[in-house]
Structure 1
Amino acid sequence: MNVSKGGGVLLAAQHRFTVFKIDLSCRGFDSLQCTDIVCAKCPLGHFTIYIFVVYIQPIATVDEYELLFNLLGNFTNLYNQQVIIIGDFNISDYQPTLSSSSLSSRKLSYLFNFLDFCDCQQFNNVRNANDRFLDLVISNRHCSVLRSIDILLDEDIHHPSLLITVVSRESQPKVINRNSLEDKLWNFRRADYPGLYSYISRIDWSCILDITDVNLACTHLYTQLKIGFDLYVPKTGLVRKSVFPPWFSPSIICKLKCKWRLLRKLRSSNYINNSEMINDFRRLRSELKCDIKRAQRQYLLDMESNIKSDPKKFWAYVNSLRKCTGIPAQMTYSGELLNSPEQIINAFSAYFTSNYSDCAVTNIDDYFDTTPNVSISLSNISESEVLGALKKLKSNLTAGHDGIPAFLLSDCASALCYPLTIIFNLILKTKTFPDIWKLSTITPVFKNGARNDVVNYRPISLICNFSKIFEMVDAVYTDFTKAFDKLNHHISLAKLHNFGFSDSLLSLISSYLSNRSQCVKYYGHVSNKILVSSGVPQGLIHSGTWESPLIQD
């Protein structure tokens, strides 16, 4: 129990529960001047939960709220625990319907920042006599909060009695199984690269010179590469995410497994009194603790020093602190409950596609200017330009729907620049963009709000790396905002004509934009293909060339 002037908090537990009080003074909570808080650790069989009871006095300053939520956030993430935080927060303007974009006070901003960063939710929807929510129930586990009928003491009209149920792990909605499909993929992490690179360097590409159809030329390119992949790259199922933190080195993991083996032996009756083995276990455990602390400290220092050059590493670490980062197995979209992975993925596809415009254009001639001031066209592409674009690709595993990673093309730039130059010039000559490069795959990424609502996700689109290379030649990379999803393709072409794009270049752009399709993909589950009827494809290299005239008009 912790009591100060104007309030106080009490946390009591039945005898059948084993509860341990947590000393919060060593974690900075003693610096709070107008907040009473207690914490207890409660093991519940298959999981352990930390329970906080909080009372914030009405006279508490905004800085007090900021400090409190920072301390709670550090505890939740640093110790990677399941928590439930209950109490009178005295935030009178809080409403469950509020979103992070419509906050009226700094107190609310600190609260919502904490909920978002720590992947927590506020579960209390029971209003007091003044139609307010002074008492909040915050947790990173699913909770059920109801008005309690069986009360122990006279009820305060400002603080109705609550019955809070923490849902067990077995009862929580499961995440979509990431390894549910049997499709085998090339595992480029375990490829025989000397053999693969030697094979690619020996491919005879001269037959592409006789091909006049762009799609057939691309088919030949993929056929030759896939022969090499089948010979030198093993196939595997979907790669399972490591259960260890990123700073765990192979030596740490090896020591950890040795410790587990020793522990299993010590728990058996044959080794219970083996003092030598007990000493070995204690020594290994002590070494592990030091190694893990040292590795984590170095990992965080490296991440901090490289945050500008490698921000992905920072955000990967932040996301690793969130307890549930997958897509729930039950979701909702437009009021409909979705239970199967196929329903969920297709709902994502429908939502992302709804951003495109299908509006018809009554008279396209109204958008044409018959006397453009300048003329913009494309000339033939040289091998040196293609080689330069290949070497600019990032050396990572990013791949489009064809599964060919960027680093492979960069490593084999000298061998691939010749066939790609032939194909790229064939594209310019025939003014036809290959169909296989028009398909993009989309991965849903959670933004904020309820994790089980489809509309709270944003799309991350991936195109194949060959298409990126073509667009990098004599082009500037510029991302498009979501507003360009509404651009009608016919109007876009008319505007580009007015800007001075030649007829041959407009024909190529028309081919590039027409019959584009996309599908949502999430760990092996793939939605139906959807035709993209409007918009300049986002994240594509040529979008920078088109952006200026379209914005100016």
Structure 2
Amino acid sequence: MVETDNGFNRAFSIRTDMRRIMLRGSPRSFWIQEDNMKYFKLKGYSSVIAGRSYNKSGGVLAYVRSGINYFHTVESNESAEMLKIRVPKCLQGGADLTLLVVYRSHSETIDSFLNKFKETVRASQLNTIILGDININILDENNSATLDYLDLMHAEGFKTMIKEVTREESNSCLDHVMVKTRNLSNFKVNPLKTQITDHYSQMIEIHSMKPTERTINKSFQLVDSGRLKDLVRRVNWGFVYDEANSIGSKFDSFLSILDECRKGSMYTINLTSKTRRRNPWVTQDLVKLTGLKNDLHKKWTNAKKNNRREAEIAQAERNYRNLAKEVTFKIKKAKEEHFRSKFEGCENDPKIFWKTVNSLTKAEKETQIKMIRLNENEVEVAGNEELIANHFNRYYTGIAETLLQNVTPHQAKALDPLAPAWREERMGWKKVSEREVIGVIRSLKNKKSSGHDGWTAEDMKSIVDHVVPPLTSLINESLAEGYFPETLKAGVVVPIYKNGPKNEMRNYRPISLLCVLSKIIERVVKRQLLEFLNAMDFFSSSQFGFLEGKSTDHAVAEHVQSIVMGLESRRRVGALYLDLAKAFDLVNVDLLLTKLLLAGVRDAPGRWFGSFLTERRQSVKLGERLSQPEPVRHGVPQGSTLAPILFLIYLNDICDVEIQGKFFCFADDTALVWRSDSVTNLVSQVERDMREVSAWFMKNKLVLNAEKSKLIHFRYTSLHLPKEIAVVIHRAECGGPSPCTCPVVRESESARYLGMTVDNRLTWGQHVDLLRSRLSRLVYGLRILKPMLDLEARIRLYQAIFLATLRYGIIHYGGTFVSVTRRLFSVLRLSQKIVGIQKGDQSGLIQGFEGLYYQASFMWVAKNLHRYTIDRQESSRLTRRGKYLRLALPRVDHDH
């Protein structure tokens, strides 16, 4: 059913499966044909049908409210009945809406349906909704046919709007709503859980607001880089080198002068309702040509109106059409060149890839917060920005206190066995050179975001030659005095929606924006801190996060190897994947400073970190409004360069806890692996060790989220093993084996760890299925960008984005059963076809999956030769096995 009201706010309600909703009576179903439609009329609605001529129990019937202009076609085949309804110029901007209502009989195979359906899907335009009873359970992600269907939809830019049960009898989702549109926030899907039929109906509301006539009166202030450079060049920085001035006053004066220079270099742009934003590829020459084209069009129109001679009219028309072709060609070329240049040197950045794809499809991402729940009431943000911002700020700064309310205070003992060891080494500052500061500034990414002072990286780069000498002097004095400027401790937080209900503050991720000068100083400090810590081999070998020479590949490789070695030795193997609640936000500053002291960061470096970490504050920004600043008492500074390394220092001694299991850490992503001779002993071992780990968490004031932690019992087969095991995560204060209220973690089939989905039999099947879904979305992006890029640019993009995604973790999952990896073959070939790599290509670009796996494996071995045994050359002659690598080949013994 398609409806619309007569106001500016239009909403279309589409209810699927109408043949049952409206027609069900005492019989199970009705068979409606063209000749008996007169008995099923609705007053005020017209009806269209795509019925079956050769069978019963199928077809599509739609009702459209009278007064709505629409066109329809029947696109049925032997696999499905499809009714296509197009409602012209009903969306914002005069765009059409297309509804493709589908019924697929469960008696037809899914493969047969998809072979015919894919051409219809690939021909779909923007603002298309595919809906109906497809009879494919999209909740069953282990079904290859389901994945083929979802891959097709994702590769063509459709989003799944409903992922919940629509048929209770089979606990399945058979009724689908797939949307291909610019702005998903305009769509809302509600299941109608009625008892009219055994399927729930789906109602879609499409809000297409007609723009109201309003006067836009906005002004933007921009920085004239030339003017800024000239103003900074004239400054006398003598006060920086005056020893009579304190470091605090020097920094205050320095920042104040920079702020005055920036304000003096700014100019204002006023926008009105008549102001049009020019596309970035439109040059001034193209603007002039377009104006000339419009003038020629007017001359041609006037010639016809004034009844000029036919030859004169024809000449005017030729002049206009020739120039119109030239303008169209030049705009197309300029657009291609613009998008080609965007990827030059940036092919490895997925953010740029998707940002460009979205700009081409004009896909809008809803960033504006409209409604927020405050004290059980929903408050509209518009007009209450400052109020909402203040609530957000109090929520973010209060997260730590809320989580720590249920944590029992730890009473430190004189000789606490969990305390990290005192190190005799002592860190000292090295003098920072101007050359180093220049390198740091030039290495900053050119982002438009800025801290509370308004300075961007581009602004700082424009004055680098004139600001570096005084800045270098200030940095050196800051380190020597152990002082971090108060002004640079303030952060600005912007809430970004992640998932869940949009009216809940907990569903918004805080993105912190710090001053660019803070980033410069932090990068200088980070280099010296890492040099000191690495020189004394400070970090645990079980920690792989944010450290040079280590990566997620290393962490997963060590983790999987530990599991396989346990299974190969015929032992019971279990792993626990821990979820730490807001770990970075819960870091206790006093404890962190103590750990820095114990690690050898004392004297001036210790005072500097004390100044850097204390008395920090933040504000939340909504639109153009800032909240009142709130003190930040917990956590490492969000968005700071030093935050990851400081967190590693805080977490480092967890790996020193004496347990039988083995730690694998990548920052706060922590996994533990145990091996035992029996399932009973394995459970006891896990519970005993986790009591010690829980005690460490309590002492260090971190919170383990047991509900989100995952337990996996690995096996090659399920024979002779209990179906499910569970472990109790005893709190440190728990008395003993008697029944307690400590949380229980039950066995799961799989867990997500560092971007890989690890399953309990190491088949990697679930990982491959999720990867295929992600690659299908990349295929859609490649398809959108194809017309904008030449073959060489497409190949570079394919290698940097698509193959990089496919290769991540391939050394782990690539060697599994062919029946699993075969699921990736079709999407790999489709991507190559879109890019333009021909099947007979001899350049090596047409690598199949096996070739990619072997290549990645060889590269991994070459980079990690220390992990393998090399046969020694016993003969004086060079033999074929002179440098033979001994690789451990698992037996994959199914006896356990």
Taking structure 1 as the reference length, the TM-score comes to 0.75
Q: What are the Cα deviations for residues 457-490 of structure 1, in whole angstroms up to 9, with x where unaligned? A: 3232221111111112152498799632221111
| Closer, same or farther: CA 170–507 of 1 in aligned 2, 3 Å | same
Q: Could you tell me how far apart the structure 2 residues matched to 1:118 and 1:334 are?
A: 39
Equivalent-residue separation in structure 1 for 2:621 and 2:317 (angstroms): 50
In the alignment, structure 1 residue 187 sits paired with structure 2 residue 205: no
Aligned partner of 1:373 among 405, 424, 435: 424
Equivalent residue in structure 2 for 1:41, among 68, 78, 86: 86
What is the rounded CA distance, in whole Å, between the counterparts of 2:400 and 2:272 in structure 1?
33
> Aligned with 1:50: secondary structure?
strand
Q: 1:423 aligns with which of 456, 474, 479?
A: 474
Matches within 5 A, 1:384-399: 384-399=435-450
Q: Are the counterparts in 1 of residues 501 and 507 from structure 2 also a CA contact under 8 Å?
A: yes
TM-score normalised according to structure 2 size:
0.49
- Matching residue's letter, 2:229: Y
Aligned mate of 2:617, from 508, 517, 532: 517
Range 542-551 or range 2-11, more displaced: 2-11
Moved more, 155-164 or 326-335: 155-164
Aligned partners of 2:285, 2:103: CA distance in 1, in Å? Answer: 46
User: Residues 477-528 of structure 1: CA distance to partner in whole angstroms, max 9, x if unpaired?
Assistant: 9879963222111111111122121133222111111121222224412233
Aligned position for 1:323: 364
Whether the 8 Å CA contact 1:69–1:110 is kept in 2: the answer is: no
8 Å CA contact retained: 1:215, 1:436 = no
Letter paired with 2:468: C
Tell me, yes or no, if structure 1 residue 225 matches structure 2 residue 258.
yes
Distance 1:156 1:396, change over 3 A: closer
Equivalent in the alignment of 2:233: 201
Does structure 2 conserve the Cα–Cα contact (< 8 Å) formed by 1:488 and 1:535? yes
Structure 1, gaps ≥5 residues long:
25-29, 95-101, 150-154
Equivalent AA in structure 1 for residue 516 of structure 2: N
Distance change in 2, residues 1:144/1:505 (3 Å): closer
1:234 aligned partner, one-letter code: Y
What is the identity, as a one-letter code, of the residue corresponding to 1:213? Answer: S
Map of 2:393 onto structure 1: 349
Q: How far apart, CA to CA, are the structure 2 residues paired with 1:327 and 1:521?
A: 12
Q: Which moved more, 1:396-405 or 1:107-116?
A: 107-116
CA contact (8 A) 2:481 2:604 kept: no
- Give the 3 Å change call, closer, same or farther, for CA 315–143 of structure 1 in structure 2: closer
Tell me whether 1:234 sits opposite 2:267 in the alignment. Answer: yes
Question: For the Cα contact (< 8 Å) 2:189–2:205, is it kept in 1?
Answer: yes
The RMSD of aligned alpha carbons is 4.8
Residues 1:144 and 1:309: Cα distance change in structure 2 (over 3 Å): closer
CA distance in 1, matches of 2:464, 2:647: 30
Q: Secondary structure at the match of 1:473?
A: helix
Q: 1:338 is matched by which residue type in structure 2?
A: V
- Which aligned pairs between 1:486-497 and structure 2 lie closer than 5 A? 486-497=586-597
* 1:135 corresponds to 2:175: yes
Write the mapping of 1:207-218 to structure 2, written as runs, cut at 5 A.
207-210=239-242, 212-218=245-251
CA contact (8 A) 1:196 1:229 kept: yes
Shift of 1:419: 1.4
More divergent stretch after superposition (315-324 vs 245-254): 245-254
Q: 1:389 to 1:305 in 2, by over 3 A?
A: closer
Provide the C-alpha distance between the structure 1 equivalents of 2:318 and 2:87, rounded to a whole number of angstroms.
31
Amino acid at match of 2:222: N
Check the 8 A contact 1:87/1:136 in 2, yes or no. Answer: yes
**Closer/same/farther in 2, CA of residues 16 and 395 from structure 1, 3 Å limit:** closer
Secondary structure in 2 matching 1:518: strand
Q: Which deviates more from structure 2 when the two are superposed, residues 270-279 or residues 524-533?
A: 270-279
Structure having greater relative contact order (Cα 8 Å, sep ≥ 6): 1
Match of residue 337 from structure 1: 378
Distance in 1 (CA, whole Å) between partners of 2:64 and 2:293 is: 35
8 Å CA contact 1:66–1:110 kept in 2: the answer is no
How far residue 437 of structure 1 moved from its aligned partner, in angstroms, is 0.5
Match of residue 484 from structure 2? 433
* Cα distance in 1 between the residues matched to 2:596 and 2:302: 77
Judged with a 3 Å threshold, the aligned counterparts in structure 2 of structure 1 residues 330 and 387 are, in CA distance, closer, same or farther, namely: same
Percent of aligned pairs sharing the same letter = 23
CA distance in 1, matches of 2:525, 2:111: 53
Alignment of 1:110-509 (within 5 A): 122=161, 130=169, 133-139=173-179, 140=184, 141-143=186-188, 157-159=197-199, 165-170=205-210, 186-188=221-223, 191=224, 193=226, 195-210=227-242, 212-236=245-269, 247-252=281-286, 275=313, 282-283=321-322, 285-299=324-338, 301-302=340-341, 306-320=345-359, 321=361, 322-332=363-373, 336-341=377-382, 342=385, 343-357=387-401, 359=404, 371-451=422-502, 453-476=504-527, 483-509=583-609
> Is the 8 Å Cα contact of residues 186 and 229 (structure 1) preserved in structure 2?
no
For the Cα contact (< 8 Å) 1:489–1:533, is it kept in 2?
Answer: yes
Shift of residue 64, structure 1, vs aligned partner:
6.7
Mapped partners of 1:163, 1:264: distance in 2: 48
**Comparing 518-527 and 324-333, the one that deviates more:** 324-333
Alignment partner, residue 52 of structure 1: 100
Aligned length: 521
> Relative to structure 1, is the Cα distance of residues 314 and 352 closer, same or farther in structure 2, using a 3 angstrom cutoff?
farther
Give the Å deviation of 1:220.
Answer: 1.3
Call closer, same or farther: CA 1:442–1:92 in 2, change over 3 Å.
Answer: same
Distance, in Å, in 2 between the alignment partners of 1:267 and 1:126 is 59
SS of corresponding position for 1:204: coil
Query: Is contact 1:145–1:162 with CA below 8 Å preserved after alignment?
Result: yes
Structure with greater Cα Rg:
2
Report SS of the residue matched to 1:84: strand
Is the Cα contact below 8 Å between 2:437 and 2:468 reproduced in 1? Answer: yes
Name 2:847's counterpart in structure 1. Answer: none
Q: Deviation per CA, 1:309-364, whole angstroms, max 9, x where unpaired?
A: 55443121234342343314234478542302424434543454455457496557
SS of the equivalent of 1:158 reads coil
Worse-superposed segment, 333-342 or 403-412: 333-342
Between stretches 240-249 and 332-341, larger displacement belongs to 240-249
Give the C-alpha shift of residue 13 in structure 1. Answer: 4.5
Distance, in Å, in 1 between the alignment partners of 2:100 and 2:380 is 34
Structure 2 SS opposite 1:427:
helix
1:246, CA displacement in angstroms? 5.0
> What SS is found at the alignment partner of 1:234?
strand
Preserved contact between residue 83 and residue 102 of structure 2 (Cα < 8 Å): yes
Q: Does 1:89 align with 2:134?
A: yes
Q: How does 1:10-89 map to 2 (within 5 A)?
A: 13=64, 16-21=67-72, 34-45=79-90, 47=94, 48-58=96-106, 59-61=108-110, 72=121, 79=125, 81-89=126-134
| Aligned CA distance change for structure 1 residues 473 and 328 (closer, same or farther; 3 Å) | closer
Shift of 1:223: 2.7
Kept in 2: contact 1:200–1:225 (CA 8 A): yes
Whether the 8 Å contact between 2:60 and 2:83 is mirrored in structure 1 is yes
More off after superposition, 123-132 vs 458-467: 123-132
Contact 2:98 2:129 (8 Å CA) reproduced? yes
Match for residue 152 of structure 1?
Answer: none
Cα deviations across residues 26-60 of structure 1 (Å, max 9, x unaligned)? xxxx9x99455443321255543121212344354
